[in-house]
Structure 1
Amino acid sequence: MRSNANKNIIYSIILLLLVAIVYLYRQNQQKPVEEMVEKTSGKVTLAGNTMGTTYNINYLDTEERDFTSSIDSLLLVFNQSLSTYIPDSELSQFNKGDTLFFGLPYFLPILQSSKVIYEITEGAFDPTVGPLVNLWGFGPEGPQLKDSVNINTILELVGFDKIVFDSASVRKIKPGMYLDFSAIAKGYGVDVVADFLMDKGIENLLVEIGGELVARGVNEKGELWKVGINRPEELGRADALYSIVALKDQGMATSGNYRNYYESGGIKISHTINPATGRPVNHNLLSATVLANDCMTADAYATALMVMGTDKAIELQKNQGLFEIFLIYSDSTGQLKSYASEGIKPFLSFPQD
């Protein structure tokens, strides 16, 4: 009897080991998106998830090194600083209180860039506008048209000039204010990943997070990296291109209103809120693409231009000369038109060319 019992125990142990081996094998065969890696003759392609969206990274490396784990770890720390969706992130802690002493290296640089662009755009870019975006129904509660009393009350808590900071901390002049870096953080994340790769000796790369990009060097063909700009059509295919841009050591970001909106009483309500009025913008600019030295700057300006509209966007770019733009807008008859600043024209092409 004891011999049979011992055999049953041995069989049970062997069965458990086999189950464990099969499980581990399947886990390795079914890698999550974060671990997808492709290598082709010195070109490495990585894909994964971050910031509620996806990232795609291409770089040339004769050693074909896989930096997936390091990049994922880097982005985890980045989000722990600047995400509004992580309850204990530095940004969430600041929004719940009035003062934050920096513990991670990302909060101060994004404040510094935000202040510069807030001032240059005369408030069109404003990371304190988040509560108004939520008020108009682009937050968790969904579409709800709000009355002017509520809007005016929230407007009192909007204005990046009411946020003060130094090298050690940031605080609110007016209690109850709320910071949201969603219009600049993805671009900043792109720069952080690109800088990491360059520190590893990677000279040729293309980093993209949620549609925001930075390119350095050339692709595997020895040409400038080329990226597409979508047609700004509500019902068009997501991969339908209006134009193509060759990036020469630049960051690029595109912002648009043509898909993120809802209708109320026959009126389209855009997700782009004017921080000055507290209300959705209403103009003919459909898409704003910005090229700048870094993606964080491009990301913020793309948002600001969508607030300003076509004419003011063109005027700002001409006066500043700090970035290049490609705008798609609708004319008085509803036809799509475009405008390209002088610096972007040599790098621009169109699918029908």
Structure 2
Amino acid sequence: MTVIQMQETSTSLDMARICDSLERQGCQARVVPRASAPCVVVSGKIADKAGLKAFPGVGLVSETNSSFPLASREAGLSEPGPMNIAPGLFIGEGMTVVMAGPCSVEGRNQILETARGVKASGASVLRGGAFKPRSNPYSFQGLGSEGIALLMEARRETGLPIVTEVMAPEDVEWLAPHVDILQVGTRNMQNFTLLKALGRADKPVLLKRGMMSTVDEWLQAAEYILAGGNTRVILCERGIRSFDKITRNTLDLSIVPMVKSMTHLPIIVDPSHATGRRELILPMSLAALAAGADGLIIEVHPRPDEALSDGAQSIDLQAFDGLMRRARRLIEALAAESESPLCSLRIAM
């Protein structure tokens, strides 16, 4: 594939001329809107590649064999610096973000108590499910729009941005104005209609890896969102299904440094879903940070044994506070290594 990055001063007429020329050569040209400057993704053999740079408005022209050119480092389309995911909050390029909160919003007291606690311990984003895709139809499915209202109240009180899952394409438009980050769960990673809708949304997207998906499939799912013009995609490794049932899933930590070498998109780790066991959340959180993850998303509940969903993989507020203290010490140790590529790491608060 060929990726043509346009100049900021380029016009719609400039892009129309390029696309017309490419299509006359038998190529497929797709214009991708971007905040900085649009780009054109070209499939097919271009007869006159040298002539592309002669068109008005053309900036960088790059070649890539990647099936996800917009997400790939090869195309050189990364925005400079860390990614802005909420007012005053950035991730990547040394900025580590910890998202914490309950699997499900169960009620006002529960979510406010959790929000206050994780905020005090240093979390930078409040997570909470209002619409819950559950394997069993009789399991608690979340509070729906009432849960969103409670998350918004928690945000007003604590100042924490909120991340919650969106399950259907038709929900994106009404939900986006009320939350800070939209999450795609493991079961919806290849819901392409949903991904296309998120590509048109002006909100960061947290894209969880499918429980049975390859890295290539995961990054191609991210490409759907990027191709719609939304450049703010955060990847989340949440464990994959394997033959071993000692843990709920198998946390594939080896892909953290691998994915970071393949894409400019930030990647965080979910040790809660990856293990399904609260005693493993601390060690796997630290292991994820040591592997180079840009952040964590952790299930925290004031009383995990009373949780309506995923209590076994949730930690209480005291345990989360201890985890954050350990995480800070680890990050400080990594930052002290002057030759380490992680030397600028710090937790965003």
The structure with the greater share of residues assigned to strand is 1
Structure possessing the higher relative contact order (Cα contacts under 8 Å, 6 or more residues apart): 2
Q: Indicate whether the TM-score tops 0.5.
A: no
Q: Which has the larger radius of gyration?
A: 1
